[in-house]
Amino acid sequence: MDIVQTGLWGFGDGPLIIAGPCSAESEDQLLKTAIALKETGRVHLFRAGLWKPRSRPASFTGEGFRALEWLRRVKTETGLPVTVEVASPEHATAALEAGIDAVWLGARTVSNPFSVDAITSALQGTDIPVLVKNPLSPDLELWIGAIERVYSAGITKIAAVHRGFTPYDRSRYRNLPKWELAIELRSRIPSLPVICDPSHMSGRADLVPEMAHKAFDMNMAGLMIEVHIDPAH
Ligand code: PEP
Ligand code: MN
């Protein structure tokens, strides 16, 4: 695969730092968060989830399509490029129309090849960067398969996001790191940037720095970190 390295995507040099809330909750929350992140001078890309993949349907499922407009405001007011998770072709089309700068495929989506095919068809012919999270299970072939599907749609700006794997026993982590899978992925596709998502891996704010350090010790290509302006609530 001839994958374009992150440093060339126009988001800045060095490790790619993506930060933002798990979910878009309001325009005000997004703007306040993005302004604070911009002030750090260290964030290349602002993230927010608009469509949340919840296990149970009664949970908050995200603000949806209307929040694309909020992200557009974030972009114009802070100059930070923005990225969202797309889980259907409709999300992908709407994200492209709204001028979103990069999209990511979530762990649940990557677990389903039909979903990946449907989304990549909607992205075909564009050069939007696509971040591919690992699937829920520690199945490297499934992760690579999703990356191949994205690449087959003509997309060359691809990065993998290592967010850990569902544990089946009690664990210190919300998702088991299984660092060896990220190492194996890098040796299988050497041109592929692999970014670490310590937030979903740990599920706990106090473990994020330790895991972020580990990712940099491993020379990972960047971080995707969840932040909130009022985490206690
Ligand atoms: C997220 O990024 O908020 C998210 C739902 O991630 P994942 O697909 O890794 O669970
Ligand atoms: Mn999240």
179-212 residue pLDDT tens: 999 999 999 999 999 999 999 999 999 999 999 9
Query: Atom 8 in ligand 1: which residue has the minimum CA distance?
Result: 106
The reported pTM is 0.97
Considering just the CA atoms, what is the radius of gyration of the chain in Å? 16
pLDDT of residue 165: 98
For the CA of 109, the closest atom of ligand 1 is 8
Instruction: Report how far ligand 2's centroid is from the alpha carbon of 53 (Å).
Output: 9
Count of C-beta atoms within a 10 Å radius of residue 58: 6
What residues does ligand 1 touch, defined as CB less than 6 Å away?
22, 49, 53, 85, 106-107, 133, 163, 200
User: What string of H, E and C letters represents the secondary structure of the chain?
Assistant: CCCCCHHHCCCCCCCEEEEECCECCCHHHHHHHHHHHHHHCCCCEEECECCCCCCCCCCCCCCHHHHHHHHHHHHHHHCCCEEEECCCHHHHHHHHHCCCCEEEECHHHHCCHHHHHHHHHHHCCCCCCEEEECCCCCCHHHHHHHHHHHHHCCCCCEEEEECCECCCCCCCCCCECCHHHHHHHHHHCCCCCEEECHHHHHCCHHHHHHHHHHHHHCCCCEEEEECCCCCCC
Confidence of residue 100 (pLDDT cuts 50, 70, 90): very high
Do 133 and 166 contact (CB within 8 A), yes or no? no
Do 127 and 153 contact (CB within 8 A), yes or no? no
Instruction: Report how far ligand 2's centroid is from the alpha carbon of 80 (Å).
Output: 20
For residue 104, which ligand has an atom nearest its CA?
Answer: 1
Query: Atom 9 in ligand 1: which residue has the minimum CA distance?
Result: 107
Tokens for 116?
A: 């990946």
pLDDT of residue 233: 85
pLDDT of residue 102: 98
Confidence of residue 148 (pLDDT cuts 50, 70, 90): very high
Q: Which residue has the tokens 């602002």?
A: 46
Do 192 and 15 contact (CB within 8 A), yes or no? no
Count of C-beta atoms within a 10 Å radius of residue 113: 14
Nearest-angstrom CA–CA distance, 46 and 43: 7
For residue 203, which ligand has an atom nearest its CA?
Answer: 2
Query: Atom 3 in ligand 1: which residue has the minimum CA distance?
Result: 22
Beta bridge partners of 176: 165
Q: Give the mutation target among 163, 197, 201, 226 for probing the ligand 1 site: most ligand atoms within 8 A of CB.
A: 163
Tokens for 186?
A: 């890098």
Nearest-angstrom CA–CA distance, 143 and 113: 10
pLDDT tens digits, one per residue of 38-86 = 999 999 999 999 999 999 999 999 999 999 999 999 999 999 999 999 9
Do 22 and 33 contact (CB within 8 A), yes or no? no
